[in-house]
Structure 1
Amino acid sequence: MPNTVEQLPEHNAGTSSDVSNRNSESNMTAETMTTAVIISLDQLIFSRTLAMRTNVRAQRKRLMLLVLLIAWVIYLFSANILQLPWNISKKLLNRASSPTETDLRMNEINKQLDQMIPHRRFSDMNTITSAAHSVVTILNPQKTYCIGDQLDILLEVKDHLGNSKKYGGDFLRARTFSQELKAGAKGRVTDFNNGTYLISFPLFWAGKASLSLLLIHPSEGVSALWRARSRGYDKVIFTGQFANGTSPVFTECGLALDTSTELCQYLDFRDQEAFYCVKPPQISCDALINMKTRNSRVSYLDNEEKMLFHRYPIGMQIMENFNPIEVLNCDKVIKKKCQIGMKSPVPSGYALQGKWTPTFCKLDQLNTVTTINNCFERKLIYLMGDSTMRQWIQYFSMHIKTLKHLDYHENGMLKKHVLVDVNRNTHIQWKKHGHPYVTIHSFSVKEDTYVSHQIDRIAGDRNTVIAISLGQHFRPFPIEVFIRRTLNIRRAIERLFLRSPDTKVILKTENTRELTLEAERFSDFHGYVQYLVFRDVFQDLNVGIIDAWDMSIAYDTNSLHPTDTVIENQINMFLNFIC
C-alpha cells in the first residue's frame, strides 16, 4: 500500500542511496496508483453520465408516446368516433362528485322499494292469486258506524285452485263509495307478507257506504312488471327532428341508445341528467328542434308473464256480495283551514256530493270568478309538469274571462301556455317538464329545460307561486330516472327557499289512469311506486301537497286526464293554499 511504503524509513536503517531509490520507487508507485484511481473515477463518471443520458432519452420517448396517445384519444372522443355505452357515460357524469348525496339517497330509496316488492316466478297459471277464490272477513262488525270510525276487513288470498297463498305482494285497490251521495274515498292496505292483508276503510260521511276491493295485479304480475321495468330504456322510441334548410332530418333519440354511431350528447352534469340523439351527418347537434315518440315492440316479459296479463282482466272485484253499511253523524270534528306545510295523511281526503274534503284541514269553496280574481291579483303563477297540470291553465282560461292568452308563436297543445290579466298584474304560465315526455304529437324542444332549472330561474317572492306535477311520462323507464328527477327538484326548491322563503310551492302527485292500457309500460302499479317515491322525497318540505292519486281513486276516474269535476276540486285546494 502506498501509505505503508512511505512510513518504512522511519523504522529501517540503510544507506542514503537505498533510501533515495526506495523514495523514487515509492513516488512512482503513488503516481501510478493515483493515475489509476483518476482513470477509474473518470470511467465511472462517464458510464453513469452515459446511463443517465440513455435513461433521459428513454423517458423522453415514453413521454412523447404518452402525449401522442392522449392526443389521439381526445381526438377520437371530440369527433365522437368512440361512443360510450350508457353505464360508462353515467359513471363519467358521476365521477365529478362521486358518490353524491343524490346517488346515496337514490340507492336508499331503490333498496326500500326492492324490499317492498315481491320477487316471485311462476310456472303454473293456476297458482297465481284469484279474486274469486279469496276470502274476506269483516272484523268486529257493527249494525251502524259513526263518521270517523274505521271498518277493517281481513283478506286471505287464494290461488285458482283454492289453495291459500303463503306470500303477499298483490297490488290491491280499496275504496268506499256511495253513488247516491257522489261520495268516495281510498282505503288503506296493509300487507302481512304471508298471504293475508288488513284492509282499512275510514268512514267519512253519514249515510250508506259501499265497499270495493279490486285485484289490479297478482303478486306474480307485480314481480314481472318490476323486473321488466328495470331492464331497459327502449320501450319508447324518441324521434328527434333536426333543422336542415327546407329538408329536416329525423334521427332516433332517447335516455340511452344502444348504438356505436356518432351521438349528440345533451348532458346536465350538475343534476346528472342525460339525453342522446343519433347525430345526423354534417348537421350540428344544436339544430335539434322537435321531438315525438312512439311505443316500441320491445318487451321484457316472457311468454308466460304476457299470458298472465291477457288471460285475466285487470281490476277484478274481490268483495262481490257485500251490502252497504250505515254511517251516522255522531260527532262533529273541527279542523283548521288548509295551509302550506300541513302533513298529508293516507288517505288524504274524500269526495262527498262531488266536493273534495281533506281529512287533515278545512277547505273553503273558492270557485267564484270574483274570488279567484281577487286571489290572483299581483300573482306570478308557474305551472310545471305534464298535461294533467296543463288542465289547470285550460280551466283558468275557460272560466276566468279576464285572463288573456299571450302568443309565443308556438304551435300545438304542448307549447308554453301563458295567460295574463294586465289590469290585475296577473301572470300564469304552464310549461312541460323536460325529457322524457311521451307523446305521438311533435313538440318543440328549443326551450326545453328540466323543472329544476325552471325553478332556478325564478327569483321568487310572497306573490310568486309554483305548482309542479310529474309522473305519467316516467312509467315506461327504470325507476332510477324518476327518483333522480324528484331529488333534483327537491334540491332546486331548497335553493329557492334560501333566496326567497316566502315563495309558495304546491306539489301535485300523479293520478291513476286507464286499467286497460298495456301494463308493462303504463300500469298503475308503476304509478303507485312513483307516488310512494314522490311523497317520501318531499315529505318534510314546507310545501302544499295535493294528493291527486287519492282523488282519482275516490272519484273512480281511471283516466289519464281526470274529469272537470276532479280538476275543479284540485284547483280549489290549490287556491286555499295560496289565497
Structure 2
Amino acid sequence: MMSLKVWKYVLSILILFGIISLLYNIAIGKNWNYNTVSVLDEVQTWSRSSRLSERLLTFQQYHTYCPHLAKPLSLEDEVEERKLLNSIIWPQLPSGSAPPSLLQTSDPVHSRFTIVTSKIKPSWYVGDQLEVQIQLRDFKGQPKRYGGDLLLARLHSPKYEAGVAGQVLDHENGLYTVRFPLLWEGSAQVDVMMVHSSEAIAVLRRLRDHRLDRVRFTSTFRQGDQSEKMMCHICLPPEPGPICNFTDVRTGEPWYCYKPKMLSCDTRYNHAMGGYAIDLLTDEETLLFQNGKNVKVPIQASTMDTINVLPSSKGTANLPTDTSAFYFLIHIIVLVINVDKGSQKPDPVKLATSGYYYQGSWRPLDGVPMGQFNDSSAITQCLTNKSVYLYGDSTMRQWYEYFSSMLPDLKKFYLGKPIKLGPFLAVDTKHNMLLWYRIHGPPMRTQWVMSNDLRYIANELDGLTGSRDTVVALSIWAHFTTLPVEVYINRLRDIRKAVVRLLNRAPGTLVVIRTANPQSLEQDVSLYNSDWFSLQQDMVLRAMFKGLNVRFVDAWQMVVAHHEPHNLHPLRPIVKTMVDMMLSYICPHRSSNNVGI
C-alpha cells in the first residue's frame, strides 16, 4: 500500500494535469467561460490587427483635414496614431466589386440568429456563457459572404430588471457570434439589432474621412455697430480668401475663420453652428439609411430567443470568483501557443464585459463596489469637502443637471451665459462642496456661445491644483463624429498629457472618463452622429487612456444593456447609474453592498 506522502504526490500530479488540460481546452476554443472568452477574443483581434498592419507597411502619416495647416507630429505621436488607426480598421466591402444594389445589401428581416445549444451540456447555469450565432442575409434572402455590419446585442430579463451587453465577433463572412455571460438565474431573452449594414458603413467611412463640411460653423466679428458673420472650421480651403488663425497657443489645437472684409481677426465675438450640409448621398446610397428597414432594426430568432438559467452548478464547470491568477495562466498559455507563429505579445488580459444590471442596479465586474446613492443625504455625505469639475459636451452637462436636481443645498450661480452651455457653478457652503461645469473647445455644434467661453479641456486641467478632494469628470466625443479620427486622436492626446501633468502634481486627484453611448438614429442623423462613428471613437478613447490612473464610466454598455431606448442624452435612470458609478469611485467605503447572484 502506498504511503500517504506518495498519494499526495500522485494527487498533486493529477490536479496539475487536470488544470493544464482545462487551460488547453480553453485556449483552443472548447468549454469557453465568459471571463476567458474576452482573453481569446482579444488575442484574435490583436492577431487580425497584426495581419492588417502587415498589409499597411506602406502606411504614410496623412491628415485628411487641412494638410497645409496641420501641425507636424513627433515620431512618437505619429507611431501612436498609426497604431490607433490600425486598431479600429473595420472590414471593408470586397475589393473590385461594383457598388451593390439595395437587394444585395444586409436585410435584418431576412437575417436570423440562433442560440447555440450543446448535446453534452444542454442546460445553462449561472457562470456559463451563452453563445448566439447570426447569419446575415440580403433582401433576396441570400446569405451574405462578407462582414462589416454593425450589430448590437443584449441579454435581458424584465422580471429581474436585468440586462447585459453582448460581445459581437465578426467572422467577416456574413456570420457573427455573440457571447453573453450568464450572471443571474431565471429566464433571459436575447435581443439582436442591426444598426447599419456593411454597405452603409462604407458610405459613413467615406463621409467621415472626406466630408468635413457636413457641419458648418460660423463666428460673428463685431466692432461697434458693425458686424460680419464668417465661416469657421478646423480646416478651411485657402482659395476664398485670407484666414484668421485661432489655433490655441498652448495645445496647438487648430481652428480657423475666414477673415472679415472690414474687421480685424481680433474682433471675433462668438461661435455657433452654421447648419448641416445636404445632398451628401447618391440616390442609391440614400436607400441604405431607411429607418425601420435597415437602420437599427431587430433581427429575429430562427427558433427560440429565450433560455432558462439554472443556479450555478457544482464542480469544475464554473470558475471561482477570484480568477485573476487563472487569467494570467491563460494569458501565458496563449502566448506560448502563439510563439511558433512569430507573434508579438498582445495587450494585457482584460474583461470584455464591464458590468450588468440586476434588480435595476448596475453591478460592475471589475471589483469596484457599486453604491446606490438614492437620496440627497447619501450624495451630500459623499461630496462633502469635495470640488467636482465636469468638462465636456452635453452628456456631461446631464451629470451637472442631475446633481443640481438632487442636492437642495446647492446654491446655483447664474453667470449670464446660455442656459444649455454654461459655464455653470454651484456651491454648498454648509458642506464645503463645489460643482463646476464647462463645455469643451471647438468644434461645438451649439447655438451661439461667446468665443472666450470656449476653453480647451487640456488648458482647464492645467489650471487645476488638484488634491485628494478634487474630482474631475470628462466626456468628449459627440461633437467629433463629423471629423476624421485623427482630429479626435489629437484632441485626446492633448487631454491625456494634461491629465498626466495633473496626476503628477496631485496624485490623489480622481479622474473619471465617461465613454460614448449609442443613440437614436432618426432620418439623416446617421450621416452626422452614427453609432458607428461613436463606437470607433469609443475604442480610441479607451486605448488612449489605458494604463493611466483614471476610472471609466462605461456609458456604452450601460445603454446597450438597459431597457430604455437609445438616446444621445440617456434617460434619467441611466444617468443615475452613471453618476452612482462615479460616486462609487469617490466614496468606495460608503458604497452599499453589491453582491452577485
Common topology (TM > 0.5): yes
In the alignment, is residue 380 of structure 1 matched against residue 387 of structure 2? yes
Q: Partner of 1:164 in structure 2?
A: 143
How much does 1:429 deviate? 0.4
Q: Would the aligned equivalents of 1:174 and 1:213 in 2 still touch at CA under 8 Å? A: yes
Distance 1:381 1:501 in 2: 16
Aligned residue number for residue 391 of structure 1:
398
Partner of 2:100: 123
Question: Is the contact between residue 91 and residue 172 of structure 2 (CA under 8 Å) also seen in structure 1?
Answer: no
Residue 265 in structure 1 maps to residue 245 in structure 2: yes
Greater shift after overlay, 369-378 or 426-435?
369-378
What is the correspondence of 1:494-573 to structure 2 with a 5 Å cutoff?
494-518=500-524, 519-555=526-562, 556-573=564-581
Output the amino acid matched with 2:271.
M
Match runs of 1:217-256 below 5 Å: 217-256=196-235
Name 1:313's counterpart in structure 2: 294
Mean Cα deviation higher: 133-142 or 421-430? 133-142
Deviates more, 1:415-424 or 1:360-369: 360-369
- SS at structure 1 position matched to 2:69: helix
* Cα distance in 2 between the residues matched to 1:433 and 1:417: 13
For residues 416 and 143 of structure 1, what CA distance do their matches in structure 2 show? 57
Which letter maps to 1:406?
F
Output aligned runs, 1:45-60, within 5 Å.
Answer: none
- Is this contact kept in 1: 2:371–2:583, CA < 8 A? no
Equivalent-residue separation in structure 2 for 1:554 and 1:246 (angstroms): 54
**DSSP 3-state at the match of 1:205:** coil
Inter-partner Cα distance in structure 1 for 2:503 and 2:468: 11
Deviation at 1:345, TM superposition (A): 3.1
More contact order relative to length (CA 8 Å, sep ≥ 6): 2
* 1:460-503 deviations in Å (ceiling 9; x for gaps): 11111100011111111112111211122111111112211111
Q: Sequence identity of aligned pairs in percent?
A: 31
Cα distance in structure 1, aligned partners of 2:382 and 2:278: 49
In the TM superposition, residue 199 of structure 1 has moved relative to its aligned partner by: 1.1
Q: Which residue of the partner structure matches residue 263 of structure 2?
A: 283
1:206 aligns with 2:181: no
Map 1:449-460 → 2, pairs under 5 A? 449-460=455-466
Verify: 1:183 aligned to 2:162, yes or no: yes
Q: Deviations over 1:118-139 (max 9, x none)?
A: 5666232221122233343322
Question: Residues 272 and 300 (structure 1 numbering): CA distance in 2 closer, same or farther, change over 3 Å?
Answer: farther
**Which range is displaced more, 158-167 or 410-419?**
158-167
Range that drifts further, 492-501 or 361-370: 361-370
Q: 1:181 to 1:295 in 2, by over 3 A?
A: farther
Are 1:366 and 2:373 counterparts?
Answer: yes
Alpha-carbon distance change, 222 to 449 in structure 1, aligned in 2, over 3 angstroms: same
Displacement of 1:324 in angstroms is: 1.8
* Displacement of 1:368: 2.8
In the superposition, relative to structure 1, how do residues 296 and 119 fare at CA in structure 2: closer, same or farther (>3 Å)?
A: farther
Say whether the 8 Å CA contact 1:378–1:426 is kept in structure 2.
yes
Identify the residue that residue 363 of structure 2 maps to in structure 1.
357
Q: Which amino acid aligns with 1:559?
A: N
Q: 1:242 to 1:322 in 2, by over 3 A?
A: farther
Equivalent in 414, 419, 422 of residue 412 of structure 1:
419
For 2:456 and 2:104, the matched residues in 1 are separated by 45
Partner of 2:497: 491
**8 Å CA contact retained: 2:111, 2:300:** no
In the alignment, residue 474 of structure 2 is paired with which amino acid?
Answer: I
Retained in 1: the 8 A contact 2:192–2:300?
yes
- Tell me which amino acid in the other structure corresponds to 1:127: Q
* Partner SS for 2:533: helix
Change beyond 3 A, Cα 1:358–1:527: same
- In the TM superposition, residue 300 of structure 1 has moved relative to its aligned partner by 4.5
Task: Give secondary structure in 1 for the equivalent of 2:580.
Answer: helix
| Deviation of the 1:116 alpha carbon | 4.7
The two structures have a TM-score, normalised by structure 2, of 0.76
Count of residues paired in the alignment: 484
SS in 1 for 2:381: helix
Distance 1:553 1:408 in 2: 36
Asked whether the 8 Å contact 2:153–2:165 carries over to 1, the reply is yes
Residue in 1 aligned with 2:113? 136
Change (3 A) 1:313 1:137: closer
Query: 2 CA distance for matches of 1:500 and 1:119?
Result: 51
Report what 1:38 is aligned to. Answer: none
Q: d(CA) in 2 for partners of 1:123 and 1:319?
A: 24
Distance 1:393 1:506, change over 3 A: same
CA contact (8 A) 1:178 1:208 kept: yes
Shift in alpha-carbon separation, 1:568–1:335, aligned structure 2, 3 A: farther
Task: Using the TM superposition, give the Cα deviation of residue 278 of structure 1 relative to its aligned residue in structure 2, in angstroms.
Answer: 1.7
In structure 2, list runs of 5 or more residues that go unmatched.
Answer: 1-64, 324-347, 588-597
Residue identity matched to 2:258: V
Q: Report if aligned partners of 1:239, 1:293 keep a CA contact under 8 Å in 2.
A: yes
Aligned residue in 2 for 1:79 = none
SS of corresponding position for 1:541: coil
The answer on whether the counterparts of 2:558 and 2:574 sit within 8 Å (CA) in structure 1 is yes
Cα deviation 1:133-170 (Å, max 9, x = unaligned): 33433223566422222110222222222332221111
Shift in alpha-carbon separation, 1:496–1:527, aligned structure 2, 3 A: same
Q: Residue 143 of structure 1 contacts residue 326 of structure 1 at CA under 8 Å; is this kept in 2?
A: no
In the alignment, is the contact (CA less than 8 A) between 2:271 and 2:451 conserved in 1?
yes
Shift of 1:274: 0.7
- The residue number in structure 1 matching 2:130 is 151
Correspondence for 2:437: 430
Q: CA deviation at 1:319?
A: 2.4
SS at 2:160's partner residue? coil
Deviations 1:186-242 (A, max 9, x none): 101111112221111222222221101111111111111112210021100112122
Residues 1:105 and 2:80 aligned together = yes
Q: Distance in 1 between matches of 2:349 and 2:426?
A: 31
Q: Which amino acid aligns with 2:256?
A: Y
Confirm or deny: 8 A CA contact 1:175 1:553 kept in the other structure.
yes
Matches of 1:116 and 1:105, distance apart in 2: 21
TM-score normalised per structure 1: 0.79
Report if aligned partners of 1:231, 1:300 keep a CA contact under 8 Å in 2.
no
For residues 249-284 of structure 1, the C-alpha deviation after alignment (integer angstroms, 9 at most, x for no partner) is: 321111112243122111136534211112223323
SS at match of 2:261: coil
Structure 1 distance, partners of 2:213, 2:232, is 10
Distance 1:566 1:459 in 2: 31
Asked whether 1:327 is paired with 2:309, we answer: yes
Match of 2:282 in 1: 302
Distance 1:550 1:115, change over 3 A: closer
The structure number with the bigger radius of gyration is: 1
Where 1:533 maps in the other structure, the secondary structure is helix
Q: How far apart, CA to CA, are the structure 1 residues paired with 2:349 and 2:86?
A: 25
Do the aligned partners of residues 267 and 201 (structure 1) sit closer, same or farther apart at CA in structure 2, a change above 3 Å counting?
Answer: same
What amino acid maps onto 1:430 in structure 2?
Y
Q: Decide whether the 8 Å contact of 2:91 with 2:147 is kept in 1.
A: no
Q: Secondary structure at the match of 1:88?
A: coil
